[in-house]
Amino acid sequence: MSKTIYIAGLGLIGASIALGIRRDHPEYRLLGYNRSQESRIIALEAGMIDAATDCFEKFAAEADVIILCLPIKQTIQFIKKLATLDLKEQVLVTDAGSTKAEIVAAADTYLAPKNVNFIGGHPMAGSHKTGAAAADVHLFENAYYIFTPSLATKKDAIARMTDLLSGLRARFIEISAQDHDRITSQVSHFPHVLASSLMNQAGAYVSDYPLTNNFAAGGFRDMTRIAESEPGMWTSILLSNRESILERMQEFQARLDQVAHMIQAGDEEAIWQFFEAGRQTRKAMEIHKRAGVDSFYDLFITVPDQEDIILAILEILRGISVVNIRINEENREDIHGILQITFKNKRDQQEAFRRLEEKTSYSISIE
Ligand code: NAD
C-alpha cells in the first residue's frame, strides 16, 4: 500500500534518507520541506521527492510518517509546531538529530499528550558535506541507526521505521536517549573536542616552530581528521549534551594527569602498560572488524617510487570498486606503506590483496 512520507530538511541526512526510502519503496509518495530553494530544486530534479515546499505546515496533515532532518534546535521547534497541527491519526514522527535526550524530552512534553506517535532516531553516519547535493544512498550502509523510544513511542514504531528505512541497509538498534547521549559523548562528541584542541594547539605551535606543519603526518592526520567538521553542527551538539561531555572531559583530564605523573616519575613499566592497554582495547573494538561509521577496508602497499606505478596497480585491480586512494607523505613512521587503497567491503579488500600478492612482489599489509 502506498504511503506518504514527509521529510523536513532536505540536507545531507534528509536527502540521503529519501534516496534510501525510494530504493525499497518506489511506490511511496515522498514530500519534502526545505527552507532554501537550492536543496528543494536539487531534490525535485533528482527525483528524490515528488513535491516540495518552504512552508513546513503545508504537507504535515497528508503524511503517514514525518521525518525531521534538521538541526537540533529546529527539530525541537518543529516538534512543538507539530503538536499544534491536525495530523493523521496514525502518523509516526521521527528525527535524525545527533543528540537525543533534549529532542525526546520535547516529544514527551508536546507530542505524547496529543497521542502522537514519536520515536527518536539517529543515523550514525555522515560527512563534512551538507545539502541535498551531497545525498548518497550508500551513506548509512552498515552504520548503526539508533532508535530511542520514550513515553511518546507506540509499540508499532520501530517495526514501521525499520520497514520504511530498509533501503538504507543500516544496522538498526534500540537504546534509551540517555544511554545514547552518554555513549556518543565518549566516542563521538568528546573526540571532536579533542581533535579541534589538538589542531588549535599545533596551530599555535607553528609560530614558534614552523616545521610543525611539515612534520604532521599519518598519525596526526588520523587523530585530527574530524577537526574539519562543520562547526555549527558541533556547537549545537556540545550545547545539547553538556553534562555527559563535561564529565568525559573531567575524567580525561585525570587520565592526562596520571600519564604526566608516570613521565615525571620516569616510571617505564607504567608507561609501557599505559600504551599496551590502549593498544589491546583498540584491537578489541569493532572499528577493526567491520565497515562501521567512518571505518573502511584499507590495503597499504609499499611501492617503489617509479613512473606509472599507480596505473599498474589499478590495472591489476580492474573491476574492483575502489573508494579512495592515498599516497602517504614522506614521514611514514606510523603507517605501513606509501600507497593506501580503500575498498567498500571486506570481499573487495581480500580480492585486491589476493591479486596484488599474486602479481607483484610488493609488501602489502591489511591493518
Ligand atoms: P545539512 O546542513 O545538510 O542540512 C540541514 C537541514 O536543516 C537543511 O535542510 C537546512 O535547510 C535545514 N535548516 C537549517 N536551519 C534551519 C532553520 N533555522 N529552519 C528550518 N530549516 C533549517 O545537515 P545534516 O547533516 O543533514 O544534518 C541534519 C540533522 O542530522 C542534524 O540534526 C544533525 O545533527 C543530524 N546528523 C548529522 C550527521 C552528519 O554527519 N552530517 C550525522 C547524523 C545525524
Looking at residue 331, its pLDDT comes to 44
Looking at residue 364, its pLDDT comes to 87
- Distance in Å, CA 316 to ligand 1 centroid: 41
The closest residue, in CA terms, to atom 20 on ligand 1 is 35
CATH numbers and ranges of domains, the chain:
4-175 (3.40.50.720), 180-287 (1.10.3660.10), 297-366 (3.30.2130.10)
pLDDT tens for 171-199 read 999 999 999 999 999 999 999 999 999 99
| Whether residue 32 has its Cβ less than 6 Å from ligand 1 | no
- Distance in Å, CA 130 to ligand 1 centroid: 8
- Distance in Å, CA 68 to ligand 1 centroid: 9
Looking at residue 172, its pLDDT comes to 97
Looking at residue 324, its pLDDT comes to 85
| pLDDT per residue of the chain (367 residues) written in tens, 0 to 9 | 789 999 999 999 999 999 999 999 999 999 999 999 999 999 999 999 999 999 999 999 999 999 999 999 999 999 999 999 999 999 999 999 999 999 999 999 999 999 999 999 999 988 778 899 999 998 898 889 999 999 999 999 999 999 999 999 999 999 999 999 999 999 999 999 999 999 999 999 999 999 999 998 888 988 998 998 889 999 999 999 999 999 999 999 999 999 999 999 999 999 999 999 999 999 888 765 544 434 578 898 887 777 788 899 999 999 998 888 887 654 444 444 578 898 888 899 999 999 999 999 888 888 6
- Distance in Å, CA 11 to ligand 1 centroid: 6
Q: Cα-atom radius of gyration of the chain, to the nearest Å?
A: 23
Query: CA separation (Å) from 191 to 44, 46, 78, 330?
Result: 37, 35, 29, 27
Looking at residue 332, its pLDDT comes to 45
Looking at residue 345, its pLDDT comes to 86
| Cβ-based neighbours of 365, under 8 Å, separated by 6 or more | 299, 300, 301, 336, 337
The closest residue, in CA terms, to atom 7 on ligand 1 is 70
For cell 558541533, the residue is: 234
Decide: residue 32, CB within 10 A, 0-12 exposed, 13-18 middle, 19+ buried.
buried
Looking at residue 329, its pLDDT comes to 54
